[in-house]
Amino acid sequence: MALRYVIVQQPSSAAQLFLLYHGINDNPDSMAQIGSWFAKAFPQALVVSVGAPYAGSMPQGRQWFADIPPHDRSEQQGVDAIMPEFVGSVRHWQQESGVRAEATALVGFSQGGIMVLEGIKAQPDLAGRAIVFSGRYATLPLRASTRNTIHLIHGDYDEQIPLQRAEEAKQRLMSLGGDVTLDVVEDLPHAINDRSMELALNHLRYTVPRRYFDEALSGARPGDDDVVMMM
């Protein structure tokens, strides 16, 4: 079991790190095409597409865990089983590039989006940004950290992962004091289109993470953690 990496862009000295995680029955080569948008917008970023370790049911397709119905307890078990490799992929490229977590963005689509949300849920210090296209949690979180700014982007015609799942994620994170946004793309099924990418890039360019405001108001040092738990 091994992850495969496709480097989309590798500057001589990276200021930012983008790691992309594909959906079920997709592969890192295909997701690298999405990575090219981030590479063009952020020329000083190291951009890497990460391939899942398990074979899917389609030729050349890969998956992060078995395709299990939502709310099945075994799905969370499948996510937890692969989580060390997922976290390891992030730590590996942070070490290789010298880019800290605060300047790391995790980008996931579908099952890859589940892994991104669950990865940050498991380790709040993993990355400063998350862009999740058509994703959801395996299990809604019980805590949220303002260390992460989470951008959910979802089509209103998504039948594979209904919009309701993204709305539930947003509501839960907001109730826990997390830093989250949700953009709904009209007439979009389970896919990424130009409008989705425009929203993602605008978030990265113009949205100021809430933690910066919190640190300014509290006098905390940058990077101090602020975790809120559900009681």
194: confidence class by pLDDT, cuts 50, 70, 90: very high
Tokens, residue 27? 């592969």
For residue range 29-73, list pLDDT tens digits in order: 999 999 999 999 999 999 999 999 999 889 999 999 976 666 666
**pTM strictly above 0.75:** yes
Choose, from 49, 97, 110, 145, the residue flagged as catalytic: 110
Its sign, for the CA torsion 70, 71, 75, 80, is: positive
Catalytic residue of the set 80, 125, 183, 190: 190
Q: Is-catalytic flag, 190?
A: yes
**pLDDT tens by residue, 127-183:** 999 999 999 999 999 999 999 999 999 999 999 999 999 999 999 999 999 999 999
Does residue 158 carry a catalytic annotation?
yes
Out of 49, 158, 196, 203, which one is annotated catalytic? Answer: 158
Could you report the per-residue pLDDT of 70-125, keeping only the tens digit for each? 666 688 999 999 999 999 999 999 999 999 999 999 999 999 999 999 999 999 99
Quote the tokens at residue 179.
Answer: 């830093």
In sequence order, the 6+-apart residues with CB closer than 8 A to the CB of 59 are none
- As given in the structure block, the two tokens for residue 89 are 């992929």
Enclosing H/E stretch for 119: helix 111-122
For 4-229, CATH gives 3.40.50.1820
